[in-house]
């Protein structure tokens, strides 16, 4: 019994190296450390794990064992990678997306250690990738499904509610939430209400900004107020989402990336919507929310280039020349996307009710003007003399008669 628990302690589970792939490895020394500053912390962790997994496969246990790899021919290295890919595919049953991330890490690794900067030819490596059985089958969550997540999955928990709404209204990657600090949120006033400008990956070179809607801003404010009411002093460097397992309000720890994924997975599970899926992975845990944002934002009429910028995507060469004012991006988001990204139907119904009332008032006002004009005309006709009335009737009859004669002659 003791030996079994000890073995469990020697193992750790990581969600790195591919979406939805859970791998267990025994604790072993990390041979190769990634220090490249251009990569995000999450990418560094994923690359580092995958590279050291490759080194362990070839039983390279120290930094000296990496030295011969610098002198190997590109053909030999390619064959080593192919053998490793076949092992991942056949022995581990890794998915195509996981193996693709492994190869991206190995491409970075060999480019960094080789002095000749030789780029490897990955065409033959990619031929060993497994087929992507789920290609083009996954989809975005629907607004009804997200509503169920809020009602049943969050169970009245303000933290879970704020996380879910943040994912839906901004399209953030789930790996970017754990690093958010209170200071990364800047309040912005709009005609629709107060919202937040959010700096994602603020401590990384891959940082970008996005905006949330009023619903999400209110959820974040309620969650932070709950923490303040319990005695926590929230400052700019305080984590936006804290670990509740540490009860000491003076020693607050942020949620880890794994914890965020676990929370979102539990929200989806408790909502019960997975039972309605036709196949596994029909709507991915976090990417389904990310795809919801992109789909709704583009369909709402928001500029595609603004959708890409707030989604954290590269806009290619346009990024070197296109420099929109942040106020323009915010106005575009609030005008087109913010309302349709709102999950709670209450504000939307209130807005529709206000529009209906406005239309009704406009109609009644127009009807009143028409009624007033009719009464004026009626009074005018009453005061007309008999001769004037007879003259008007004769002129009307003459015009109508002439027209009737013309139409009659045409018919003949």
Choose between 360 and 299: higher pLDDT.
Answer: 299
Which pLDDT score, from 0 to 100, does residue 168 have?
A: 95
Choose between 60 and 394: higher pLDDT.
Answer: 60
Q: Report pLDDT digits (tens) over 87-100.
A: 999 999 998 889 99
Mapping DSSP to helix (H, G, I), strand (E, B) and coil, where does residue 263 land? Answer: helix
Residue entry with tokens 């303040």? 228
Predicted TM-score (pTM) of this structure: 0.65
Give the Cα separation of 196 and 169 in Å (integer).
Answer: 11
Which pLDDT score, from 0 to 100, does residue 396 have?
A: 62
Which pLDDT score, from 0 to 100, does residue 177 have?
A: 93
- pLDDT higher than threshold 60 for residue 288: yes
- pLDDT higher than threshold 70 for residue 7: no
Residue entry with tokens 């009807």? 367
The DSSP symbol for 65 reads G
Which pLDDT score, from 0 to 100, does residue 20 have?
A: 36
2-126 maps to which CATH number?
A: 1.10.150.130
393 falls in which pLDDT band (50, 70, 90)? Answer: low
The distance of Cα 310 from the centroid of its chain, to the nearest Å, equals 9
Give the Cα separation of 391 and 397 in Å (integer).
Answer: 10
Structure tokens given for 159: 């933290």
Give the Cα separation of 92 and 8 in Å (integer).
Answer: 20
pLDDT > 90: what percent of the chain?
46
Q: What is the location of CATH 1.10.443.10 in the chain?
A: 143-343
- pLDDT higher than threshold 60 for residue 404: no
Structure tokens given for 133: 């059985």
Q: What is the location of CATH 1.10.150.130 in the chain?
A: 2-126
Q: What is the mean pLDDT of the segment spanning 275-287?
A: 76
Q: How many residues does the chain have?
A: 412
Helix or strand (DSSP H, E) at 111: helix 96-113
Which pLDDT score, from 0 to 100, does residue 352 have?
A: 66
Q: Is the sign of the CA dihedral 38, 42, 97, 147 positive or negative?
A: negative
Q: Are 293 and 169 in contact (CB under 8 A)?
A: yes
**Range with the lowest mean pLDDT among 26-30, 222-226, 280-284?**
26-30
Give the Cα separation of 247 and 103 in Å (integer).
Answer: 42
Calculate the alpha carbon distances from 348 to 143, 151, 162, 342, 356 in Å: 13, 17, 19, 8, 12
Give the Cα separation of 405 and 411 in Å (integer).
Answer: 10
Which pLDDT score, from 0 to 100, does residue 363 have?
A: 75
Which pLDDT score, from 0 to 100, does residue 122 have?
A: 83
Choose between 65 and 119: higher pLDDT.
Answer: 65
Which pLDDT score, from 0 to 100, does residue 12 have?
A: 38
Structure tokens given for 230: 């319990």
Which pLDDT score, from 0 to 100, does residue 111 have?
A: 87
Choose between 84 and 348: higher pLDDT.
Answer: 84
The DSSP symbol for 236 reads T
Which pLDDT score, from 0 to 100, does residue 26 have?
A: 45
By the 10 Å C-beta count (0-12 exposed, 13-18 middle, 19+ buried), 314 is classed as exposed
Give the Cα separation of 332 and 302 in Å (integer).
Answer: 6
**Range with the lowest mean pLDDT among 116-130, 298-312, 332-346, 362-376?**
362-376
Calculate the alpha carbon distances from 198 to 181, 287, 310, 336 in Å: 10, 19, 10, 19
- pLDDT higher than threshold 70 for residue 290: yes
Q: Whole-number mean pLDDT of the chain?
A: 82
Which pLDDT score, from 0 to 100, does residue 3 have?
A: 43
Which pLDDT score, from 0 to 100, does residue 21 have?
A: 37
Q: Are 176 and 234 in contact (CB under 8 A)?
A: no
- pLDDT higher than threshold 60 for residue 376: yes
- What are the respective helix, strand and coil percentages of the chain, to the nearest 5? 60, 5, 35
Which pLDDT score, from 0 to 100, does residue 17 have?
A: 36
Give the Cα separation of 333 and 21 in Å (integer).
Answer: 34
Structure tokens given for 154: 């969050």
Give the Cα separation of 150 and 279 in Å (integer).
Answer: 23
Mapping DSSP to helix (H, G, I), strand (E, B) and coil, where does residue 209 land? Answer: strand
Choose between 145 and 1: higher pLDDT.
Answer: 145
Topology of the domain comprising 143-343: hpI Integrase; Chain A (1.10.443)
pLDDT > 70: what percent of the chain?
79
337 falls in which pLDDT band (50, 70, 90)? Answer: very high
Residue-by-residue DSSP string for 31-67: ------TTS-HHHHHHHHHHHHHHHHHTT--SGGGGG
Other Cβ atoms within 10 Å of 186 Cβ, number: 13
Q: Are 158 and 226 in contact (CB under 8 A)?
A: yes
- pLDDT higher than threshold 90 for residue 375: no
């Amino acid at each position: 019994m003791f030996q079994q628990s000890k073995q469990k302690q020697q193992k750790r589970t990581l969600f790195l190296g591919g979406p939805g792939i859970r791998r267990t490895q025994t604790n072993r020394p990390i041979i190769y450390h990634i220090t490249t500053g251009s990569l995000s912390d999450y990418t560094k962790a994923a690359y580092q794990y995958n590279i050291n997994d490759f080194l362990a496969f070839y039983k390279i246990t120290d930094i000296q064992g990496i030295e011969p790899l610098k002198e190997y021919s590109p053909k030999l290295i390619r064959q080593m990678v192919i053998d490793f890919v076949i092992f991942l595919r056949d022995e581990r049953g890794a998915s195509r997306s996981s193996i693709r991330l492994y190869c991206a890490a190995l491409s970075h690794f060999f480019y960094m250690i080789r002095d000749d900067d030789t780029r490897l030819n990955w065409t033959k490596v990619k031929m060993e990738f497994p087929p992507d059985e789920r290609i083009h089958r996954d989809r975005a969550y629907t607004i009804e499904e997200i509503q169920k997540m809020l009602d049943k999955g969050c169970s009245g928990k303000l933290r879970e509610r704020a996380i879910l709404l943040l994912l839906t209204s901004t399209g953030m990657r789930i790996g970017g939430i754990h690093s958010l600090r209170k200071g990364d949120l800047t309040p912005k006033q709009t005609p629709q209400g107060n919202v937040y400008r959010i700096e994602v990956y603020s401590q990384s070179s891959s940082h970008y900004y996005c905006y949330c809607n009023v619903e999400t801003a209110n959820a974040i404010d309620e969650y932070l107020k709950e923490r303040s009411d319990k005695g926590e002093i929230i400052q700019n460097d305080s984590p936006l989402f804290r670990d509740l397992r540490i009860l000491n309000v003076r020693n607050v720890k942020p949620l880890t990336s794994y914890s965020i994924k676990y929370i979102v997975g539990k929200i989806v599970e408790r909502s019960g919507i997975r039972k309605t899926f036709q196949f596994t992975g029909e709507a991915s845990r976090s990417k389904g929310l990310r795809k919801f944002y992109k789909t709704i934002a583009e369909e709402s009429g928001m500029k595609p280039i603004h959708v890409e910028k707030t989604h954290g995507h590269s806009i290619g060469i346009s990024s070197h020349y296109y420099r929109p004012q942040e106020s323009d991006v915010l106005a575009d988001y609030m005008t087109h996307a913010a309302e349709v990204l709102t999950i709670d139907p209450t504000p939307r119904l209130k807005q529709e009710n206000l529009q209906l009332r406005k239309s009704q008032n406009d109609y009644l006002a127009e009807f009143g003007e028409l009624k007033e004009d009719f009464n004026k005309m009626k009074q005018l006709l009453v005061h007309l003399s008999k001769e004037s009335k007879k003259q008007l009737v004769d002129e009307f009859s003459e015009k109508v008669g002439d027209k009737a004669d013309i139409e009659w002659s045409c018919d003949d």
